[in-house]
Each structure stands twice: as structure tokens, then as C-alpha cells.
Structure 1
Amino acid sequence: MTTAPVALEIAVTSPAGAVVARDGGADRVELCVGLELGGLTPSQALVEATHETGIPAHALVRCRPGGFVHTPDEIALMEREVRAVLRSGAAGVVVGALRADRTLDRDALRRFVDAARSVSATAEVTLHRAVDHAIDPVTAAATVADLGFTRVLTSGGAPTAAAGAVTIARMVEAAGPVQVMAGAGVTPHDVPALVRTGVAAVHLSAKRPAADSAHDGVPMGGADDGSAHFVTDAEVVAAARRALDA
């Protein structure tokens, strides 16, 4: 039996980033805004424009920054966002929710999956790094197959995927038919070790500060420190691709 090649996913925030990822050999992109906040739901227009680049785009659906315990209103909103981004051309969605006891919110997750499949029977659904905030990421990974998830994005509960590699390998064993994708602080140097855990994909933002995008003066919000925004770095994407192909 042949082993499927490990996929490369790049987190991007713009159609330009999607083009860089595509031309650098990425298999798909995760599309979001507010990457510095951990990622938030992209707009309809952003999804449409990214879809036009030709690379499969999986849209993050996360209605606010912060933790993953959501109110009923937030869950209802994200359910609508799931349908909206798929109707706008996304090939999949990236979702997650926890209960206050740090177990997966299975009711919310089931609603997200059902919403996705109501738009497209072939939509891929990824459980995002809320799993890394769960009380037991390995157990969580073992319980999502019956909810209809395609994959789980994880750092193994650690600050970076490289640090969580041992747990990621356990999650691969536990997840059954659900793919496991390693992500968080990944650099091209980390790729070979992550591949050895048995993951189906590696995920990285491959970002660098945009030239001349920093600003001084009047802050635009509490989190605005005047820093530059980020763009996708073609050299990092290409290096990750080479590391996978080596």
C-alpha cells in the first residue's frame, strides 16, 4: 500500500498571499483575517477573490478573538458564517468550540458540520486549534470522526507543533480516519520531524512583516502597537515545499 504524500497548507489573509502559496507549491490555504489575533472569519468578498486564484481555500470561521467557549448567539452566527463562506467559494471550513469544562462542544461542532454539508456534501471540515485547549487533545481527536470532520489541526497541546510532536504522534494513532495536521510556529526546519509523526499535512503561516506597513501615531485599537501587518513569504513557502519533497 502506498502512503499518500503529506500536504502543505499555508495560512493566508489575502488573495495575493494565496497566489504566493499556490506558486510556491502549497496544496491548499487556510484563509482568515486578523492572523495576529489567531485568525477570524474572512469576508464574503475576500473568500470570493481568493477562490478565483484557483488554489483550494479553507475559510476559518471564528467570530471573535479569545477563548473557544461560545454563547448560543455566537454559535448561531458561526453556523451562518459556515454556510456563507462555502457559498462564496471556499472548499472547506475550519471550526472549533469547547465547553466550560474544556471538553469539545459536540453539539456546536455537529451544527457546524451539518451547516457545511448542507451547502456542499464534499466540503472539508477541519477542527482548529481549540483542540489544543481541550483537557485531553488525544481523546478529543479520537472522538470527532463520528461528527463528520475531515481533519484536526493541532500543536499537540503545546505552544508549537515541534514541541508537541510526541502528542501529535499519539493523536495520529487515535484519530482513525480523521486526518491530523500539525501547525503552530512551524518553520521549514521543523517539517521533517513533523512528517515522522505520521501527520497527513503540515500547516504554517510563512509570514513576514510587509515592507513600509508599520505606522506610528494614533492607535487604531487596544491591540494596535504600530507594528507592520504580515504578508506571505514566497521563500518560506518554497522552503517548506522542498522540505516535504526531500
Structure 2
Amino acid sequence: MLLEIAVTSAEGVDIAATEGAHRVELTTALELGGLTPSQGLMESGLEAAGHRLGIHPLVRCRPGDFLYSEDELRLMEREVRSLVGQGADGVVIGALTPAGIVDRVAMRRLAEVARNHDAGVELTFHRAIDQVADPFAALDVVMELGFTRVLSSGQHSTVAAGLGQLRRMREHVGSGIQLMAGGGLALDDVAQVRNAGLDAIHLSAKKVVSTAKSGTVSLGAADGSDPTAYMLTDAEIVRAARAALQR
């Protein structure tokens, strides 16, 4: 079973590689569920990786739902083209229709853009699958489109709660596609995830850093949250995740 870490910086890529992760999902704005990384971040991430692990950028042009307009799809096509052209090992994508099914047309468009630049590029369908009405029908579509893997928490807020569904998803697809558990994943869940026959685990391994001082002025956060806080990859969590996989 493999280990994927969601990271938001070149430093995070280096930490993940050093501590034994097999690949990273490169993203920004984890607090928003993740958004597309910039070209500069992709370049820095590739340099930090040094061929030690795979880099799979998330392509998500905005936070919120996974129902995309034509303009948004065109933007994500450009993002896929740019990131694969820079050397991404894969891209992480997902789109749904208002009916709660996989947007087959959008997915085919994004997949074709990626494959036109690299026929061997890996495609991951992200946790949009946790919002579909019928996950088994969604898996059939994703497999039909030739995706490499699916990231899911089993349609629950945490992997632990969704483990039964993940088992059913594994039984449904057989060896037709890789299944990766992610979303509220605790290290204590790793053994059960392995026993369920999944192929990988995914976690952000993050810690929150703050430089706030008394009287710090908010920069627009309506909820009064710390305006100086941001997330970094925690080497100890990555190390612990790797150790849990090796037990």
C-alpha cells in the first residue's frame, strides 16, 4: 500500500520525499479543500522532488461544488495542459453534473488534454465521488474513461466512518482501478484500510503555523479567524504514516 501526501509548498514536497512518501498531491489553499497550484509552485515542487517521488497536482479552479461552467472547464483545460507540460506525473481532477453523476463530457475533455501531452500520464478522480448519488455507477464511468485511481472517504466525512462503503467499492471494481483512502484519515485507521484491500492512503499531514500578536488586524476574515495562520507539512506526521504502513 502506497502513501500520498497533500502538500502546498516545495518544502512540503521535500519533506514527503525525505520521509518516504511515494507521491504527493500538489495543491494550494488546503483550508478551501485544495486549489490548482501555480506554474511557479509546480516548477519548485519538481526541483524539490528530484525524481524521488511522483507529483500529481490538483486541478480545481475554485472552491465550492464540482459543477463547472464552460469558462471554468476551459480554464482547467489550460491548467492541465500547463502542468502536464511542466512534467507532472499525473493530475487530480473531478466534475459532476447537477443530477449528481460524473460529468462524463468534462472528464473526457480534461483527460484528453492530459493524454495529448503525455500518453502515460496518471489520472486521479478526487473526492467529488463522495458527493455522487450512486458511487458504483460513478466508478464504472471513471473506469470506462481510463482513470488510474479514485480518492474517496467512502462517502462519509472520515475514512473510518466510510470504511464499509470503501470495502464495497473495492469489491465492485476488483482490479479495474486503484482505490485510495483519504479524507479525515487517522493513522489508527491504516491497518483497517489495508485489510479492506485498498491501494493507498492519502493525508495532508499538516500543522497550522501562526505569527499572530496581540492587536493583529484582520485582513477580511469575517469569522474572526487568525489572519496570520497558514499550513505546513509536518515531517513527524509523514514519518508516522510511513511507519504505520510498514507495520
| Alignment RMSD | 1.6
The answer for the alignment partner of 1:229 in structure 2 is: 230
8 A Cα contact 1:219 1:225, kept in partner:
no
How far the C-alpha of 1:169 sits from its partner, in A, is 1.1
In 2, the alpha carbon distance for the partners of 1:92 and 1:213 equals 37
Taking every aligned residue pair, what percent have the same amino acid on both sides?
Answer: 47
What secondary structure does 2:48 align onto? coil
Give the whole-Å Cα distance in 2 for the aligned partners of 1:187 and 1:214: 32
Question: What is aligned with 1:239?
Answer: 240
Count of residues paired in the alignment: 241
- Structure 2's unaligned 5+ residue stretches are none
Q: State the Cα deviation string for residues 205-241 of structure 1 (Å, max 9, x = none).
A: 0111125368931324557722521111111111111
**Bigger Cα displacement from structure 2, 73-82 vs 6-15:** 73-82
Q: Which runs of 5+ in 1 are unaligned?
A: 1-5
Distance 1:74 1:183, change over 3 A: same
* Residues 44-83 of structure 1 aligned to structure 2 (within 5 Å): 44-54=39-49, 55-83=53-81
- Call closer, same or farther: CA 1:221–1:68 in 2, change over 3 Å: same
Paired residue for 1:159, among 157, 160, 163?
Answer: 157
What amino acid is the match of 2:146?
G
Where 2:218 maps in the other structure, the secondary structure is coil
Counterpart amino acid of 1:239? A
Task: Kindly provide the amino acid, as one letter, of the partner of residue 30 in structure 2.
Answer: L
Report the residue type matching 1:226 in the other structure: D
Q: Any residues of structure 2 matched to 1:1-246 within 5 Å, and which?
A: 6-54=1-49, 55-176=53-174, 177-210=176-209, 212=211, 216-222=216-222, 225-226=225-226, 228-246=229-247
Q: What SS does the aligned partner of 1:74 have? A: helix
The structure-2 alpha-carbon separation of the partners of 1:214 and 1:171, relative to structure 1 and needing over 3 Å to count, comes to farther
Q: CA, structure 1 residues 222+77, in 2 after alignment: closer, same or farther (shift >3 Å)?
A: farther
Amino acid at match of 1:242: A
Give the SS at the match of 1:144.
Answer: helix
Counterpart of 1:143, as a letter, is V
TM-score with structure 1 setting the length: 0.93
